[in-house]
Structure formats: structure tokens, C-alpha cells
Chain A
Amino acid sequence: MTDAIKLTIPHQKSYYGVVRLVVGGLAARLDLSYESLEDLQLALESLLGNEAYASGDDVTVELSLGPGSIQMLVGPLDGARLRPDLAAADGDEEGVSLGRLLATVVGDVRLEERDGGHWVRLEKRTAGSGSSA
């Protein structure tokens, strides 16, 4: 049995609260700090709360727990819109780009192609109980 949760919701802001609660439940189970939970939720909100990134009516969030980390896979999303925003992580001094935001709150961010769509893979290190990592 894999320690994973898969959730498909309409890509609409109003459904984002459902994902927040699920992530909160996972954070409680993992003993993540409030601050880490906030980071995870902000990362997901930046992708799910922005309808410009929607690629279809629905979006899926896969959350899986690895040793010392939590992984989140979000998709399918609009790769053409995401790519430049994700690439702006470095050297973008003009505002808070998606790339910069995700790099700050999560750490490892990758854009992947899967099932003919684009997915964002996020990985956040969790350094153990009460981690604020």
C-alpha cells in the first residue's frame, strides 16, 4: 500500500478549500509544522487558485509521502502558460513569479509531461517532527 492520496476536483477556486483540508490532514499525520503546512497550501493555491493555468475542467492533485519529504503532483495544467512563469524563478526582480514563489515555499519544482498533459511536481523536505522546513 502506498502512502498516497489522489484528489480530482473542478479547476475552480471554490473547490480549493477541499484540497487545503486534505493537505492539512496530511500535515497533522506527518507532524508537519504549521509553517510548513502554510507553505504547502500556498504552493497549491498558486497553481489551483489561478484559473489561467487550467488545462481542462478538472485538475488532479496527487500527494505522496516519501522518507523525509512530501511530494505533490498537480495537473494537467496549461504548459504554455506555466513554462515562462516557472522559469522566472531566477533573476526575476520585478515581482513574485510563480517560479520564485514555489522555489521559496517548496524547494524542488519540476514541470513534467504525462498522459499528454503538463504536470507540476513539487517536493518539500520534511526534516522530522515539528519541522519548519
Chain B
Amino acid sequence: MTLSSENDRELLRAYHGRGDLEARERLIEQYLPLVRSLARRYSYRGELLEDLVQVGCIGLIKAIDRFDVDRGVELTTYATPNIIGEIKRHFRDKGWSVRVPRGLQELNVRLSRLIEELTVQLERSPTIPELAKAAGVQEEEVLEALETGQAYATLSLSAPSGGDENDDLDPLESLGEIEHEYEVSEDRAVLAPGLRVLDERERRILQLRFFDGLTQSQIAQQIGISQMHVSRLIRRSLEKIRNEVAADNGGPASQTARG
């Protein structure tokens, strides 16, 4: 047991055993850097870091209050998922950049799966009427639900990437995942400052789509994510580059996605 975890236990015992609120305060202060570090990874556009830190603190406080000193687990181990869980809940409630009715969000997720299934079944990308039929909804509803994905894409613009298929539901699911190593042309990234804002997977996807000529569904197969997710990542990457180029030029983006 490390010195710091021993110190944690003393403080936890003081709080849980004697109701020492000062000990609780000290624990909260001690773990604020952890909350801040986790919150920083999700400081989305429109979501102030300080707001997320506040939300994360609620998770931390819950963890401290519920912690069982006798379980032999360190507070860090117990607190981290609690803090993330609280931030996740916050995003689940407020995550969509435009308020999207729950039904449409769910249809969007269902469509993502149906596109995969039908692409395999039909050996080509499905049409809107085919999707509508498979989902048992009107074509207009399919279009509307697909459009809701754009609200999500806006949100996920500055979301941490390197996540997996769960990004379709919750970008925070990607937390803690190990980045895949892709054989990306780093030369291009070095040459194009705009591309430096992208992570390896994003650069890889742009390479496959715009330089190697693969379709979205082919990329989806190769990377192991859904086609809808590929589409989102392409949009997000292009917009990231546009914003980066615009920031460099001190004005609106003059090039679509060129560094």
C-alpha cells in the first residue's frame, strides 16, 4: 500500500467513522486534479471545462461517500468510474447539440445497425425506401433520423476520438481505449498543418476515402466500425481541418480541408 493510499484510508476512516467533514474536504481537494484531468478530455464545444469539473466533482463526492474502506480497493480505482459515470450522465442528458427527440435518437442508432445488416445482405449500400421498410417507419422519418446524426456529429467535433462502435451512442465510451496504430502517411501530416489536428484513425480514414478511393462501407469494414460512424468521422475530420486552417489564417476557412 502506498503512502498516499494509506493517507486516503486515514481520511476516509475519519470521515466515515467520526463524521469528520474536514477529512472529506481534504479528500475532495486531493482528487480534484483527477477530476480535472478526466473532465479535460471531454471539454466539448459549448461545454465549459469548469462545468464538467463540477459535474465530475459530484461523482467524486458520491465515490467518497459510498466508499467502503474494508473492501481493499483504492479510492482512485473506485472514484474514476464514478466521475466518468457522472460526466456520461451529464452528456446523455445534454449531449445532443440540438435537442433531438429520444425516438429519433433511437431510430438513428437502429438505422446505423440496419445499414450494416442490409449492406451485407444486399451486397450494396441500401436505399432510403429499403431502410424505411426494414425499420418499419416512413421514408421521411428515416431522413429525419439520419439528420439527427448531424446534431450528434456537431457535438462530437471535439470529442476525443479513438473510440469504438459505441461512439454511435456515447462518445465517452471511448475513454481509456488504447489507440490503434495505423500505417498512416505521416509525411502528409507533417506537410499539412491542418491534418495535424487529426488523430491517427481520422487521418487513416481520410487517406482511405480521398486518396485510396475506398467507399465508406469498405472503410467501415477495414477499420471495424459502422458506415455511419465512418461518415461522422469524415465530417468531423474535415471540419476540424477547416477550423484549424481558418484559425491559422485568422478568418473563415478558405480551403475545404487543406493544410
Chain A residues in the interface with B (C-beta under 8 A)? 17, 20-21, 24-25, 27-28, 31-38, 42, 45-46, 49-52, 81, 85, 88, 92-98, 100-101, 104, 129-132
Determine the distance from Cα of A28 to Cα of B139 in the docked complex, in whole angstroms: 7
Chain B residues 233 to 249 lying within 8 A of chain A, measured CB to CB, are 234-235, 238-239, 241-242, 246
The 9 A-B pairs at the shortest CB distance, nearest first, are namely A33-B125, A35-B125, A28-B128, A95-B258, A95-B192, A98-B256, A24-B143, A96-B257, A52-B252
Determine the distance from Cα of A50 to Cα of B243 in the docked complex, in whole angstroms: 10
CB distance from A12 to the nearest CB of B (A): 11
Determine the distance from Cα of A52 to Cα of B130 in the docked complex, in whole angstroms: 37
Q: Which of A35, A50, A94 interacts with B242 by CB under 8 Å?
A: A50
Determine the distance from Cα of A21 to Cα of B139 in the docked complex, in whole angstroms: 11
Chain B interface SS verdict (over half): helix
Determine the distance from Cα of A45 to Cα of B211 in the docked complex, in whole angstroms: 19
CB distance from B149 to the nearest CB of A (A): 10
Q: Which of A20, A36, A38, A85 has the most CB of B within 10 A?
A: A38
Residues in B neighbouring A97, C-beta threshold 8 A: 255-258
Chain B: how many interface residues by the 8 Å CB criterion?
50
Q: Which of B127, B143, B194, B255 interacts with A33 by CB under 8 Å?
A: B127
Residues in A neighbouring B231, C-beta threshold 8 A: 38
The answer to whether B143 and A95 touch across the interface, beta carbons within 8 angstroms, is no
Q: Which of B128, B147, B256 interacts with A50 by CB under 8 Å?
A: B256
The answer to whether A34 and B115 touch across the interface, beta carbons within 8 angstroms, is yes
The answer to whether A20 and B127 touch across the interface, beta carbons within 8 angstroms, is no
The answer to whether B215 and A94 touch across the interface, beta carbons within 8 angstroms, is no
Determine the distance from Cα of A132 to Cα of B147 in the docked complex, in whole angstroms: 20
Residues in A neighbouring B209, C-beta threshold 8 A: 104
Residues in A neighbouring B115, C-beta threshold 8 A: 34
CB distance from B100 to the nearest CB of A (A): 12
